[in-house]
Structure 1
Amino acid sequence: MKKRISIMTIVVGVLAASFASSPAPAHADIVWDHWQQAESLVARGNKAEAVSHWQFLANHYASIGDWENTALFYGKLDSYFDAIGDYDQAIHYYELENEYWLKAGRDWGAVKLQRADQIRTTVELYRQERDQSTIRELALPSSGKLAKFEPAYGTYLGIYSEQDPKVGNMFTKTEAVYGKKHAIYLAYAHWGQSFPAMYAKRAKDADGALQIAWEPDDGLDPVEDGAYLRKWAQEAKAAGIPIFLRFAGEMNGAWVKWHGNPAQYIAKFRMLHDVFAAEAPNVAMVWSPGDVPANDIDPYYPGDAYVDWVGVSLYIEPYENGDPSLPSMLATSNVERLTRLYNTYSDRKPLMLSETGVPHYQHAAGEDFTEWAKLNLQRLYEIMPYKYPRLKAITYFNVNQGMNNAKNDYSLSSSSDIQNYYSKLIANPYLLSKVSDSAQPVDRVGYVPVDADHQSFTKKTKFVPFIKIPEVYIGKVEYILNGRLTATQTELPYGLELRAGEVPEGSVLQIRVLNKSGKQVSLRTFGVSSQVSVDIDGKDQVFEQAPAIVNGSTLTPLRAIFEAMGATVEYEAATRTVNAKKGGTTVRLTLDQKTVYVNGKAMQLEEPARLVNGYTLAPARFVGETFGGKVAWDGSSRTVTIATK
């Protein structure tokens, strides 16, 4: 609050100075008249009529290069439109205000951008994907090379449990309490203390890895290469488990003693990297700032050669700084808080949420926020891993701060409702329970955004929407498929499963969102489609060219299926003829002709074979039965099954 007052004081001073300057511009009287009229209207409680005057003044000051006053009047406009609930206009002016503060060399618009994100309506859609090349491509860095301990896709499940009364530091209890093993356990260590061998052993007993937050409480000066560090590194190696070493995290925040000297920080981090590279190859170096203040993150980056993973401490809470007397932060989403860091580093490094939490109770206010916590827990464990496929680990800060006379209850087990909901969310195989190089979910299922490149699916798929509205709490979500209301949800977690037979090519899925008052706040349209799939002896086939339905006939890739059934295939380009053979059976067909020959005997196809993107497609029943297979069609999943045994 003090910062805001000081900003406004400075800005008003700038404004006054602009009118007191001499000589005055020729139209100074007009400008002054608009300014006085706006002030008079506001004083009479008529802000709506002041809008045109503020717009005039903002445009005027922008035209003469007075960026401070331009930002000031855009600030009046964004506050007005926010107050009356015209959020699109408010966002427009918040962004303009920030733009002109930046032109003025100020970062004062950052808080306004945060507010713009809070009131921005977002409806995005993600779906399951089984094609391995598609999933892996989205989850890879541009170099194509995975980092140390990085999964091919999926997100490691991590937890800090020492203050959880149901788990403590007995990590083997985690599965019994939450229904699933966790991949990473978090422990804190301090420079000068010995390696936390007990925590490493208990992580090993739980078949897990250890994240160590190593904090130089006396600052960076004592951090030197010597006997203490070498012994610590050797004991880390002897632990025999993967270790994610998060040295001096949140270095961009003035609340830690190792803040303030980026050059020194970088030198110490690089030195540690070199020591552990030599002494403990089972240690991955994690560089982990806080997500705020954002403008002080990049100067501390040690460089790609010294960082294995980029982490971040990212928390959301109902009130700013946990203080109920400060503005509500309920509209803040954890999803957008990661965007800047992700866009900056994910192309080079895997990301982890080194610490994160969502409180369900606020001690200072004595308020329960269970519904809000559930909303953001779903975003944390479903939306963020799908939206950010390079987010490869999430470590939850499982602490009830009320036990320390603090502000928020992040604990998962202090509320049975939250504990059960968390267990339900993490049951998803995409959240990984074991750290290993190139790990992947046991069901081999990933997630992709529903966009122009990822509309089609096979068999069945789960759709998961990310929905955020200015009113925070969602009243109802309706799913409308090809004009028909298919499903309605009023409770978390949101999501919809559809079978391929329900979604023909060129389908349209609409998501209608209503707030708690029953008012529609968004209607978003997505193109969706399904493809025919082929199973041979129970194994799902993956084709370079997908099957297609033409004139009511299902056409499938001929060569791929024939070869999967053990036949040899040759193509004569000059005559556009395909010859295939298996045992004593021969097949000869010509593209775009219905007549085919099996063992020299002519027969007619319901639809001729044809070339599609360089691949020969032919009717599924003919392709499957020619060499003795039994063919069946499942319309609900649009699946051709071929049994050869």
Structure 2
Amino acid sequence: MGASLPTRRCRLQPSSYIVLDQSEKYKGAHRALFVVSLILATATIIFVNVLLYSPSARQALLGPGSTIFGVIPEVQSTPGSGAPSRSPANNRRILDPASINGIYFGASIDWKAKDVPSAFNERFGKPLPFVMCFANITADGLTLVRELKYIADTVLRVDGAILGLTVMPVDPLDQLSDAVYDQLGRTCAEINRHGIPVMLRYAHEMNGNWFSYGQAPGAYRASFIKAATAVKKYTNLTSMVWAPNSPVGYPWLAADSGPKAGSADFVAMDTNKDGILDHRDDPYTPYYPGDDYVDWIGFSVFHFGNNLNSNTLPVDGEFRNAIQHVAGINATGPTWDLYTQFSQARNKPFAVMETGAAYYPKSVKPGDPSEMDIKRAWWQQVYSDDTLKRFPLMKLVSWFDIAEDERVNNGVEGSLYYYRDFRISWNKEIAAQFKADLPPRVFFEDAP
């Protein structure tokens, strides 16, 4: 009887039986095709994201210097196309700082976490006139050209925004060829061609020892001059920013770090010629490439808390004293005043390219001040009437709106990592208080 069932079905409804059998086969085939298509689509998405957001993987897959699409392609921006028209008047006064009676607000946003200027504007409630991004440059050239195209596209959609481009050499400076500098100049010109001014901060914080190019004043000056020359060859809408770090703690030398005694770099850094590198040596002048190559004087200054790892309030005058720094443990030490010595004396605009106050949410101890207390105490110093009056050539202050693990060498053996949250735009209460505390002459749009 077990063999009679299919025979009966075949006799009674032969056509139906065949059709039913084929239908089941087709369903199975369709299901298999769908699964295969889904797998292929997922793999394609993952592959594209790896190429876009992992330079090391891209280099391994496509070879050294690969940038997928090479140069930045033209981006059309016409009224009605969905992207705003780039009016020549929008924030162009940043390129004529003498006409700005106040300072522009800016921010470094977390591009690695897919943040973009339009998202910042939406959550913060104010337009971002200046946005910072970071890119490496090697002996093969800029490593993130495709990523810069993406970044330029997002800046293009925020009408009037200026791009701050921080370029960090990775390979030894003497390995950067003329072709590498030429590529940098052409890339800036291409971004400018779409109506986006660029403030190029090249090899920033060169007076520190935490970058490979740090504390090598001879090679640094030569490299900066080549970068500036290449940029000016192709465009006049990119400003060159020379931006040392705050000198608090200079020269940050451990027993086995810094240039060797007697070397050209040691001699250059030993500005008082006493045979010792210490706080009595000028932390700026050995690295200055010359007035002809510098458009802006930049600066980096943060409040990191005690021991670079704790939730503590800034002390009164901490921000001002970093700019006009009295070295040593008492008032008898030399004063290293970046603003007076380089901005005022040379009549060059001054920009705080990175600033913020660190909050350590993973290291909170009983009695610690709150995130709001720490950050507010800092921004009330940075964006204050006193700052505006004391530093009239200061035309831009950019907040580091990022939270991340940062490597810290605080005198112990090896390095430690601490999770630091500098952000002000992601917490609505903090963002609202920040905006409420700002003096009138901090601008989010064109300065009047």
Q: TM-score, normalising length from structure 2?
A: 0.58
Give CA deviations for 1:94-140 in whole Å, capped at 9, x if unaligned.
Answer: xxxxxxxxxxxxxxxxxxxxxxxxxxxxxxxxxxxxxxxxxxxxxxx
Q: How does 1:152-551 map to 2 (within 5 A)?
A: 152-162=100-110, 168-191=114-137, 192=141, 193-195=143-145, 196-207=148-159, 208-226=161-179, 228-292=183-247, 293=250, 295-322=282-309, 330=315, 333-339=318-324, 340-347=337-344, 348-361=347-360, 363-366=362-365, 367=368, 368-382=370-384, 383-401=386-404, 406-426=418-438, 428-434=439-445, 440-441=447-448
Q: Check the 8 A contact 2:313/2:374 in 1, yes or no.
A: no
Q: Check the 8 A contact 2:165/2:198 in 1, yes or no.
A: yes
Separation in 1 of the partners of 2:118 and 2:398? Answer: 16
Separation in 2 of the partners of 1:355 and 1:284? Answer: 17
Q: Check the 8 A contact 1:247/1:286 in 2, yes or no.
A: yes
Partner of 2:4: none
Q: Give the residue type in structure 2 aligned to 1:335.
A: R
Q: Does 1:148 align with 2:95?
A: yes
Separation in 1 of the partners of 2:373 and 2:308? Answer: 20
Separation in 1 of the partners of 2:399 and 2:107? Answer: 5
Q: Give the residue type in structure 2 aligned to 1:148.
A: L
Could you say if the C-alpha distance between residues 345 and 212 of structure 1 is closer, same or farther in structure 2, counting changes exceeding 3 Å? same
Separation in 2 of the partners of 1:164 and 1:388? Answer: 33
Q: TM-score, normalising length from structure 1?
A: 0.41
Secondary structure of the 1:401 match is: strand
Q: Give the residue type in structure 2 aligned to 1:433.
A: F
User: What number of residue pairs does the alignment pair up?
Assistant: 287
Quote the RMSD (CA, aligned, Å). 2.8
Separation in 1 of the partners of 2:380 and 2:112? Answer: 21
Q: How does 1:40-189 map to 2 (within 5 A)?
A: 148-150=95-97, 151-162=99-110, 168-189=114-135
Secondary structure of the 2:396 match is: strand
Separation in 2 of the partners of 1:373 and 1:329? Answer: 9
Secondary structure of the 1:371 match is: helix
Cα displacement (A) at 1:160: 1.2
Q: Check the 8 A contact 2:304/2:358 in 1, yes or no.
A: yes
Q: How does 1:582-593 map to 2 (within 5 A)?
A: none
Q: Give the residue type in structure 2 aligned to 1:312.
A: F
Separation in 1 of the partners of 2:314 and 2:150? Answer: 39
Of structures 1 and 2, the larger Rg is shown by 1
Q: Check the 8 A contact 2:188/2:198 in 1, yes or no.
A: no
Q: Check the 8 A contact 1:233/1:275 in 2, yes or no.
A: no
Q: Give the residue type in structure 2 aligned to 1:363.
A: K
Q: Check the 8 A contact 2:104/2:444 in 1, yes or no.
A: yes
Secondary structure of the 1:389 match is: coil
Cα displacement (A) at 1:216: 0.4
Q: Give the residue type in structure 2 aligned to 1:322.
A: N
Q: Give the residue type in structure 1 aligned to 2:323.
A: L
Separation in 1 of the partners of 2:125 and 2:170? Answer: 36
Q: Check the 8 A contact 2:189/2:238 in 1, yes or no.
A: no
Q: Give the residue type in structure 2 aligned to 1:254.
A: N
Separation in 1 of the partners of 2:424 and 2:111? Answer: 11
Q: Check the 8 A contact 1:175/1:181 in 2, yes or no.
A: yes
Q: Check the 8 A contact 2:102/2:441 in 1, yes or no.
A: yes
Q: Check the 8 A contact 2:133/2:165 in 1, yes or no.
A: yes
Separation in 2 of the partners of 1:320 and 1:297? Answer: 24
Q: Check the 8 A contact 1:314/1:334 in 2, yes or no.
A: yes
Secondary structure of the 1:256 match is: coil
Relative to total residues, which structure has the larger strand share, 1 or 2? 1
Q: Percent identity?
A: 23
Cα displacement (A) at 1:319: 1.4
Relative to total residues, which structure has the larger helix share, 1 or 2? 2
Secondary structure of the 1:254 match is: coil
Partner of 2:84: none
Q: Check the 8 A contact 1:246/1:288 in 2, yes or no.
A: yes
Secondary structure of the 1:156 match is: strand
Cα displacement (A) at 1:381: 1.3
Q: Check the 8 A contact 1:236/1:283 in 2, yes or no.
A: no
Separation in 1 of the partners of 2:382 and 2:186? Answer: 37
Cα displacement (A) at 1:322: 2.2
Q: Give the residue type in structure 1 aligned to 2:376.
A: K
Q: Check the 8 A contact 1:400/1:409 in 2, yes or no.
A: yes
Q: Give the residue type in structure 1 aligned to 2:420.
A: N
Secondary structure of the 1:296 match is: coil
Could you say if the C-alpha distance between residues 147 and 328 of structure 1 is closer, same or farther in structure 2, counting changes exceeding 3 Å? closer
Q: How does 1:561-576 map to 2 (within 5 A)?
A: none
Cα displacement (A) at 1:362: 5.2
Partner of 1:472: none
Give CA deviations for 1:18-43 in whole Å, capped at 9, x if unaligned.
Answer: xxxxxxxxxxxxxxxxxxxxxxxxxx
Secondary structure of the 1:346 match is: helix
Q: Check the 8 A contact 1:245/1:284 in 2, yes or no.
A: yes
Could you say if the C-alpha distance between residues 414 and 402 of structure 1 is closer, same or farther in structure 2, counting changes exceeding 3 Å? farther
Cα displacement (A) at 1:284: 0.2
Q: Check the 8 A contact 1:163/1:399 in 2, yes or no.
A: no
Q: Check the 8 A contact 1:197/1:239 in 2, yes or no.
A: no
- Which stretches in structure 2 are left out of the alignment for 5+ residues? 1-92, 251-278, 325-336, 408-416
- Which stretches in structure 1 are left out of the alignment for 5+ residues? 1-145, 442-645
Q: Check the 8 A contact 2:356/2:375 in 1, yes or no.
A: no
Q: Give the residue type in structure 2 aligned to 1:175.
A: N
Partner of 1:67: none
Secondary structure of the 2:354 match is: strand
Give CA deviations for 1:138-195 in whole Å, capped at 9, x if unaligned.
Answer: xxxxxxxx98342432111101122697xx5321233322221121000001113244
Could you say if the C-alpha distance between residues 229 and 178 of structure 1 is closer, same or farther in structure 2, counting changes exceeding 3 Å? closer
Q: Check the 8 A contact 1:158/1:184 in 2, yes or no.
A: yes
Separation in 1 of the partners of 2:397 and 2:169? Answer: 24
Give CA deviations for 1:277-318 in whole Å, capped at 9, x if unaligned.
Answer: 110211000000001227322210111111000001110122
